[in-house]
């Protein structure tokens, strides 16, 4: 049974999410602030965290940062604000999705299902059980690690997902829409700028090998490099 941590200072919101999540067969734990959520994540493992942004003591963004330091847990953000800045900042932190309040509980559960299914696929897909080396760039898909010239690089969970996807489809022209659908999921609320923002972050992480990600003007991107035998 998948275990979800719901973090929101509004008891009614937590109650609604719990009701729908348990109906879908998920186990639910609640936290009414960010500090409690971080401590729970320190002690237990969760398959997904649903975190509200506006909370006392520790806001949702800070909560997400602290949780990511402890474990690689998918995060879905909730917010009463729908500004693009908040969404992009959240994605830069490594969140998987962003839902604006008021929301449809059924749609929220659909997004939860997509995130958990995608995370399970990414962690257990046998196609990814390999080490790929491109010059000084080493990508271990089993361990989810990336090394640049022998130095391990820390990236957000979404950067790893995006890089692995590009590498597994190397030399194939990929449109922004296809990348958005395959990496973020069909139900993801976002646009082309989400892909461009994460490509920029990923290139920054790859340093001298940033040019392995080729921009296809008017279309999207592709990973183009020669793998070492």
35 part of a folded domain: yes
Q: Provide the residue range defining the domain that includes 180.
A: 126-223
Residue 123 is predicted with a pLDDT of 57
Rg, C-alpha atoms of the chain: 18
Which of helix, strand or coil describes residue 160?
helix
Residue 149 is predicted with a pLDDT of 94
Q: Which of 119, 142, 141 is nearest to 49 (CA)?
A: 119
Across the strands, what pairs with 137? 134, 148
35 close to 43: Cβ distance less than 8 angstroms? no
Tokens 């490594």 found at:
94
147 lies in the same domain as 97: no
Give the pLDDT band of residue 91 (cuts 50, 70, 90): confident
pLDDT in tens, 180-202: 888 876 555 556 688 899 999 99
Query: Which CATH number covers residue 207?
Result: 1.10.10.10
Which of 124, 141, 174 is a domain's end point? 124
Across the strands, what pairs with 99? 78
pLDDT in tens, 20-73: 999 999 999 999 999 999 999 999 989 999 999 999 889 999 999 999 888 888
C-alpha distances (whole Å) from 91 to each of 53, 60, 156 are 13, 13, 9
> Average of pLDDT values for 136-154?
90
Residue 127 is predicted with a pLDDT of 45
71 close to 97: Cβ distance less than 8 angstroms? no
12 lies in the same domain as 105: yes
79 lies in the same domain as 154: no
159 lies in the same domain as 83: no
148 close to 209: Cβ distance less than 8 angstroms? yes
Mean pLDDT value across the chain = 86
Give the pLDDT band of residue 126 (cuts 50, 70, 90): very low
Q: Is residue 208 packed enough to be buried (19+ CB in 10 Å), middle (13-18) or exposed (0-12)? A: exposed
Which of 72, 95, 124 is a domain's end point? 124
* Structure-block tokens of residue 6: 């719901």
Residue 229 is predicted with a pLDDT of 40
């Amino acid at each position: 049974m998948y275990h979800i941590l719901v973090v929101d200072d509004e008891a009614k919101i937590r109650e609604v999410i719990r009701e729908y999540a348990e109906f879908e067969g998920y186990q639910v734990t609640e936290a009414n602030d960010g500090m409690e959520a971080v401590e729970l994540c320190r002690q237990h493992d969760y398959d997904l965290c649903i975190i509200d942004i506006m909370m006392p003591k520790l806001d949702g963004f800070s909560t997400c940062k602290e949780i990511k330091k402890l474990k690689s847990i998918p995060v879905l953000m909730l917010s009463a604000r729908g500004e693009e800045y908040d969404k992009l900042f959240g994605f830069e932190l490594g969140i998987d999705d962003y839902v604006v309040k008021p929301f449809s509980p059924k749609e929220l559960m659909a997004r939860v299902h997509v995130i958990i299914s995608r995370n399970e696929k990414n962690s257990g897909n046998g196609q990814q059980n390999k080490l790929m080396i491109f010059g000084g760039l080493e990508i271990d898909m089993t361990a989810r690690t990336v090394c640049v010239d022998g130095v391990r690089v820390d990236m957000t969970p979404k950067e790893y997902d995006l890089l692995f996807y590009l590498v597994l489809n190397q030399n194939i022209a990929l449109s922004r829409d296809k990348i958005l659908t395959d990496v973020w999921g069909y139900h993801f609320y976002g646009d082309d700028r989400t892909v461009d923002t994460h490509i920029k972050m990923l290139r920054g992480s790859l340093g001298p090998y940033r040019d392995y990600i080729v921009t296809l003007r008017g279309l999207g991107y592709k990973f183009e490099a020669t793998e070492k035998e």
